[in-house]
């Protein structure tokens, strides 16, 4: 008998040292970033603006419409970071909807203002699931400038997203297991957060929110 997925849990493609997150960009930003292996390679990428990254492949597909939603999300990039850098971001986070006892905490501003949201998770067919997926908002300014230096590898996974949509459209009954065998769905596993202070900042153990 399988164990129910916790309401707030980080699931990601990760190795013992790295973790993969996703964000979608327009063609000029994505092409320059992949070529130079740097998000700031294109002058169109502004470190003064907030950018959102997410570890869930399915949620990235949902957010960008498999890369077809609009021109500014037409290229999906997989961004590899070290565990240490990812945990640094989380330790500087503030949840958008905080618990009553946290509302007076101004630590987010002092620690960099990384924004945390827990949105309803999706599967790769865009069905809403009964638990949440973390989204991480990198604020413009010094934190964003530091974050872009944390990205160790940039890979364009747009073709994978579009091929996945093609397969689902042509074979609506296809299972996630088959899609994984085809290399279209990554093997996302739990990324454990053991530090109690970080868990508190992320609101991971707050009561389940009413839908």
Tens-digit pLDDT profile for residues 147-160: 999 999 999 999 99
Interval 45-82: pLDDT, tens = 999 999 999 999 999 999 999 999 999 999 999 999 99
> How many Cβ atoms are within 10 Å of 77's Cβ, its own excluded?
22
Give me the pLDDT at residue 100, please.
Answer: 38
Q: What is the pTM of this model?
A: 0.90
Please give the structure tokens belonging to residue 179. Answer: 């899609």
* Contact criterion met (CB below 8 Å) for 75 and 25: yes
Which residues of the chain, if any, have pLDDT below 70?
1-2, 97-112, 209-211
Q: Which of 191, 72, 169 is nearest to 124 (CA)?
A: 169
DSSP, collapsed to helix, strand or coil, labels residue 129 as strand
């Amino acid at each position: 008998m399988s164990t129910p997925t916790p309401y707030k849990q980080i699931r990601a493609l990760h190795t013992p040292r790295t973790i993969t997150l996703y964000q979608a960009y327009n063609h000029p930003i994505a092409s320059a970033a992949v070529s130079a292996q740097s998000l700031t390679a294109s002058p169109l990428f502004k470190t003064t603006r907030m950018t959102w990254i997410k570890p869930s492949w399915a949620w990235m597909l949902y957010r960008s419409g498999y890369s077809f939603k609009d021109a500014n999300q037409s290229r999906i990039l997989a961004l590899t970071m070290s565990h240490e850098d990812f945990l640094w971001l989380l330790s500087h986070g503030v949840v958008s909807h905080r618990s009553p006892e946290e509302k007076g905490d101004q630590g987010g501003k002092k620690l960099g203002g990384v924004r945390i949201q827990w949105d309803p998770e999706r599967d790769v067919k865009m069905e809403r699931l009964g638990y949440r997926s973390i989204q991480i908002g990198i604020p413009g300014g010094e934190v964003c400038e530091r974050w872009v230096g944390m990205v160790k590898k940039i890979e364009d996974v747009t073709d994978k997203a579009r091929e996945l949509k093609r397969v689902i459209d042509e074979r609506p009954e296809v299972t996630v297991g088959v899609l994984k065998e085809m290399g279209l769905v990554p093997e996302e596993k739990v990324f454990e957060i053991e530090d109690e202070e970080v868990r508190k900042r992320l609101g991971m153990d707050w009561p389940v929110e009413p839908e």
